[in-house]
Structures are given as structure tokens and as C-alpha cells.
Amino acid sequence: MTLSGPFALEASNLGKSGRTRARLMDAAVDVFAREGFQAASVNEIARLADVANGTFYVHFRDKDAIAAEVAYGITREIARQIDEAMSQIDGAAERFSFATRQFIELATTQPMWGWVLIRSAWIVPELNHRVETYLSSDLKRGVKQGIFNREIDPFIVDAISSMILSALAARLRGDAGEEAGSRVSELALCMLGFPVSEAKALAWSAITLQDFSTNVLPRAPKP
């Protein structure tokens, strides 16, 4: 009855067990996004996934376990798509800017994934970790390329990722429009020592963001 979400689609070629598991993960994304991790209840996840509550425990040890899996799945998928989309881009600044903008638009297309990233960031440290790992690698590349003149350490990566999440939140709340990605990207480039005019040019350059809504990440249908 409930149409499938991203994980279920991805698992459509797996066995029944795999598909049930995927349905649970999609349901968990939904509930986490709406209620936050703490307030989410296993029963509600199971109900949304259209399985008995006991079935949850066939697939996951507990709520923490599914949260970790979901976090892993979301970040892996998002990273994969962004990586793929910018495989041709070489400049660190361009890569960073593109990735930031793409990330925000991607998470806006899948609002539940976006909310999970935001709401669970402080609770499932795994999430932050992975996001920052991806971020870190491009920033360090920029230093090597002599483009960024700041030392890249966890502190600054943290600061930038916080800013990006705050931009994403504004976008999801509807307080910011499509410009959110460019704005936060510009700000971050400034922070990294980029001259303002260049930062602006880069962050607002007309790039074609990949449209995932009809492609890899189908829009999750509302029940």
C-alpha cells in the first residue's frame, strides 16, 4: 500500500528479507525526520513499514542499530551521487562549491533525508563524522593546490559543516530558496581565504545541478 522509498527501491532486486529491511529503513527515515531520533518509536516505524512490531527485531538489534544503518545509507548514497556528478570537476574550490550546492539541493529533494541529517547530527555522531570526512578531503585538496591558505583541521571542518547544515535547515524550513547553497558556499570560500569577488563568482556560477528527482533518488511519495 505504502509506496516505496529510496531504500526499498534500491532493494527491489533483493530477497523478501532484504526488502523488508529496506522498508523498515525508509520508514525509520520518515519517523526520524518527523519526530527526531529520541521521540521515534519502534512501533511507529514498524507500522509505517507495514510489518509487525516484532519483525523490527528480526532485522535490527535496536533503535540505535537502525539509526546507524540509516545514517550510513544516507551519507553513502548522497556522497556517491555527488561524487559521480562532479567526477569531471578538478579545482578544489569548484568541487567544494559544487558539492555544497548539490548537497543542499539533494537533501531538499529528499526532505526527510535532510531532516534526518539535521535532527540526528548531534545524536548519531557517525553522521557528522561521515559528512565531515567527505568535506575534509576536498578542503585538503584545496590546500595542496595552494588555493586555500588555511590549515584544515577538524575545527574548521566542523565550523563549515555546521554552516552548511544551518543553510540546509533554512532551505527545508522554507526560510531560504535555491540560493541557499550558493550563499553558504560563498561564505565558506571567504572563510577559507578566498577573495570576496572570486568567492562570489564561483559560488554563483551557473552550474547544472544534477536533477535527482527523476533519476537516482526518486522522490519519496507521501502516504
Partner DNA sequence: CATGAATGAGACTTCATTCAT
Partner DNA sequence: CATGAATGAAGTCTCATTCAT
Q: Which does 81 bind (CB under 5 to 8 A by kind): DNA, a copy of itself, none?
A: none
Q: Rule CB under 7 A: which residues touch DNA? A: 15-21, 39-44, 51-59, 62-63
Q: How far apart are CA 63 and CA 50, in angstroms?
A: 17
- Of 2, 109, 136, 166, the one binding a copy of itself (CB under 8 A) is 166
- 23/183 with CB nearer a copy of itself: 183
Which is nearest to 98 in space by CA: 211, 218, 204? 204
Tell whether residue 52 is a contact of a copy of itself (CB under 8 A): no
In the complex, minimum distance from the CB of residue 118 to a copy of itself, in angstroms, rounded to a whole number: 7
From candidates 67, 104, 117, 180, binder to a copy of itself by CB under 8 A: 180
Q: Which does residue 163 touch among DNA, a copy of itself, none (CB within 5 to 8 A, set by kind)?
A: a copy of itself
Query: Which amino acid type is present at position 207?
Result: I
Structure-block grid coordinates of residue 205: 556560477
For 12, 23, 31, 105, 155, the CA distances from 4, given in Å and listed in that order, are 9, 7, 15, 21, 39
- The residue type found at 52 is A
Q: Which three cell numbers stand for residue 46?
A: 514498524
Instruction: Provide the 3-class DSSP secondary structure of residue 153.
Output: coil
Binding residues (CB under 8 A) for a copy of itself: these are 36, 38-39, 118-119, 122-123, 154-156, 158-159, 161-163, 165-167, 169-170, 175-176, 180, 183-184, 187-188, 190-191, 193, 196
